[in-house]
A and B are shown apart, each in its own frame.
Chain A
Amino acid sequence: MKLTINKVRLVAAWTWDAGDDACGICRNAFDGCCPDCNIPGDACPLVWGNCKHPFHLHCISKWIGAQSSEQQKCPMCRQDWKFEARK
């Protein structure tokens, strides 16, 4: 072997893995942030419901907060809203 790699530094950029590219509530791109935030990314995270629909955390929280407890449904598919358990 003429050459062997000792050490490598890779660079990766992460983005949200949300198929639909805009939030169903605020219509802003998932790559961007909700209307209340300035900087996208960790500061304005996405969440998924059990129905697999993603939203900005801030957007869905506001939505859920505005509903009475029996009517907390996903705005996209009207199923009962449950945060999908992810790490």
Chain B
Amino acid sequence: MDRTRTRARAAPPRKMRIRAYERKPAAPPQLFSNAWERFLRPAVDAVHQSQPVPHSLELLYGHVHDIVLHRNAPALYDALRRACDRHIAARIAQLAALSPSSEHVFLAAVHAVWHTYCTHMLRIRQIFLYLDRTYIVHAAQPDARSFWDMGLLLFRTHFSSVATVQQNTVHCLLTLIDRDRDGQTVDVALMKNLLLMFTAIGTYDAAFEKPFLASTDTYYRNESRTLVASQDVPTFLKHAESRIHAESHRAVRVLDPSTRNPLISTVEKRLVSDHVVTLLDNGFSSMCDQHRKHDLKRCFAVLSRASDHMPADSRAPNELMKSRLIDYVKNVGRAIVMDKSKDPEMVQSLLTLKARLDDLVNFSFDGTEAFNMAVNFAFESFVNARENKPAELIAKFVDSILRTGNKGFSEEQLETTLDNALTLFRFIDGKDVFEAFYNKDLAKRLLYDKSASLDLEKSMISKLKHECGPQFTAKLEAMFRDVDASKDLMQSFKTHKLSKTSLSHGIDLNVYVLESARWPLSTQPSKVKLPQSLMDCQEVFKKFYLTKHSGRKLAWQYVNGSCRVKANFPEGTKFLELSLYQTIVMLLFNDADELSYSEIADATGIEELPLKRTMLSLACGKARVLLKRPKGPQVDAKDSFVFNKKFTHRQTKLKINAIQIKETVEENAATTERVFQERNYQIDAAVVRIMKTRRTLQHAGLLAEVFDQLRFHHKPADVKKRIESLIEREYLERDENNPQAYHYLA
């Protein structure tokens, strides 16, 4: 231990020392000018002339390295820039001398200059890489750019400063694009490259895009002007669509992505927006008419695109299309509704029209709610353009579906048809007319067992209930209940001792007892004389009924009665389904072979009109169980009738009672009359309701309020009449001084 310490003291450690150079190291004199003039400049020139570089790249790189290390970078950068500047200036000057008469040649030349320039600059950059990486990155000067950027800047300066070159280039490009639009083949790749050049040197927006959009504008303005005049609308739309498509394709293929939106909107504006009204005027309704779904879909698509570019004072294309659609539907619908000769097909035509329009809206207008509503609005307006008749016909249409005889249709098909009919019904203002006729037809279906299916009937009622509320269907439902109750009643009658009387006549008696207020029945007492056997049956039933329900009386509705009669013709026995009137007439021939019209009228007590109709059905219909003398298509009071002894028919069971089901003119009139009567009550009620709250009101004010309350169409004259009648009945009185004012009388 000691020894070691001693030795360490004896030999102190030697220190290493770094001394500064005695002489500051300096770059060899003339380093920069030497290296630049001898090596680097010839290399740059050689590259620019596309010749092999005279020295090895490694050597050149070494010189650059040295110069930068010896802080001569700014001078080098400057010298290099000037060298490049000179070269590109010369190149551009060559281009300026070139005539742009052949676009492709000229553009190819421009592209060649650009392309070689880029290659050269890359090559030079490789040589001066050290400069690029160190000096430019660290340099504080703001105008020192990376080598590549410097190259672009130089190119741009010369390219744009020699105005003709840039202008010619742009001009040639636009010419080529127009040619492409005209359908000629052009060098797309060349254009794409040149446009990339514009983007690279940063003049795309100002130098190219602006003139391009302007030329597009002119091109399509001219094109659309001639085409709109010369082509039909669908062709033009097809053309517009393909143009828009082609331009958007061009934007992807050739142009800078940023140009796409302004380009497309320019095209849309010039091709479509400028002509929306003309296009719609010329082609819309005919396309609808011919049900050109695809063309309309295109129309909708193309015109919707135009909505952003419409002139400020114009309505949006969708709005315009909607109003055209409304006009079209109104015109077509009105033609169907107003044509009296086509009444029998009206509902079917309307259903077809509705289905067609629904299809059109769904397919062509993307099922847009606004268009659905437009169709509905148009329907509502034209269906109500003719009063009452459409409602009546819809009711009859529904009747024809619910009646027996729709064989070949499935329940679902019938349901769908009912639903469709109901959509028409929805458009109708005067629902009371529908109700009245539905009520009458339902009565017939129920009384004559003509209903096709009880399920279908019930479903129709529930649809109506859903549509108009339980108030609307209460009466109809009660009718079903009456029929059911009558069937129960007959069950209990048949077990009752009184029923034996009817049995003694060999007659199977069935009675429908209806509640008079619910059914559309005649209230006039009938003078018809029943044969004794039927009279007995009727009396027996009456007795039975009144023991069950005291305090009631029965009014017999012979018009609606029906019978099955066994007829022994010499040629064979037939079973005839007859109306009660027909039966009464036929039974007279049990005791006679020939009877005059007046004899029959006396014996039956049937009124003239129904009797004539009955005789017509028996003697002039398809199955003639009576013969009329003299023969003829009409029944006259002087005619007489003979039992047809030679009657034959291939069927054993015959229905001759169709006459009952058919609506007579009087029935129709009576039903309409009932509606009007009902409406008068409603007007009365509305007037009294309003006057009760207002106490005193001017005539015009009262009319306006009545109009608000009533849901059917009415004329002011009708209301005026009702007001007169209310004054007479002392519900209201006129003001003594002002004949225009009314007071309510409590």
Contact = CB atoms under 8 A, between A and B. Distances in A.
Contacts of A38: 471, 474
A54 B509 contact: no
A66 to B, nearest CB: 23
A10 B510 CA distance: 6
B682 to A, nearest CB: 14
B551 A86 contact: yes
A13 B557 contact: yes
A4 B549 CA distance: 32
Question: Binding site of B, secondary structure by majority: helix, strand, loop or mixed?
Answer: mixed
A63 interface: no
B551 A16 contact: yes
B537 A13 contact: no
Interface stretch (B44-52, B516-524, B695-703): B516-524
A35 interface: no
Nearest to B510: A9
B566 A3 contact: yes
B552 A31 contact: no
Contacts of A48: 551
A16 B549 CA distance: 10
Given A3-B565, A3-B566, A6-B507, A11 B512 contact: yes
A36 interface: no
Given A2-B589, A10-B541, A15 B563 contact: no
A12 B555 contact: yes
Contacts of B548: 87
Interface stretch (B177-185, B411-419, B580-588, B717-725): B580-588
Nearest to B559: A11
A40 B517 contact: yes
Contacts of A40: 515, 517
B676 interface: no
Interface in A1-50: 1-18, 31-32, 38-42, 46, 48
A36 to B, nearest CB: 15
A12 B556 contact: yes
A4 B565 contact: yes
A15 to B, nearest CB: 5
B575 interface: yes
Q: How large is the interface on B (under 10, 10 to 19, 20 to 34, 35 or more residues)?
A: 35 or more
B734 interface: no
B643 interface: yes
A11 B580 CA distance: 10
A14 B517 contact: no
Interface in A46-67: 46, 48, 54
A39 B551 contact: no
Most chain B beta-carbon contacts within 10 A, residue among A5, A15, A86:
A5
A83 B362 CA distance: 66
A41 B517 contact: yes
Contact of B514 (A11, A31, A54): A11
Nearest to A47: B551
Contacts of B580: 8, 10
B556 A14 contact: no
A9 B511 contact: yes
Given A6-B575, A39-B474, A54 B518 contact: no
Interface string B472-486: 001100100000000
Interface in B444-490: 447, 471, 474-475, 478
B554 interface: yes
Interface string B487-517: 0000000000000000001111111111111
Nearest to A14: B552
Contact of A87 (B505, B509, B550): B550
A56 to B, nearest CB: 12
A18 B553 CA distance: 9
A12 B512 CA distance: 6
Interface of A: 1-18, 31-32, 38-42, 46, 48, 54, 86-87
Given A7-B564, A42-B515, 8 more contacts: A2-B568, A2-B589, A4-B565, A9-B447, A13-B519, A15-B555, A41-B515, A86-B551
Interface of B: 447, 471, 474-475, 478, 505-519, 521, 531, 533-534, 537-538, 541, 545, 547-558, 560-569, 575, 580, 583, 586-587, 589-590, 643
18 contacts: A2-B590, A3-B568, A3-B586, A5-B507, A5-B563, A5-B583, A6-B566, A8-B534, A8-B564, A11-B560, A12-B556, A12-B557, A14-B513, A14-B554, A39-B517, A42-B515, A46-B551, A87-B550
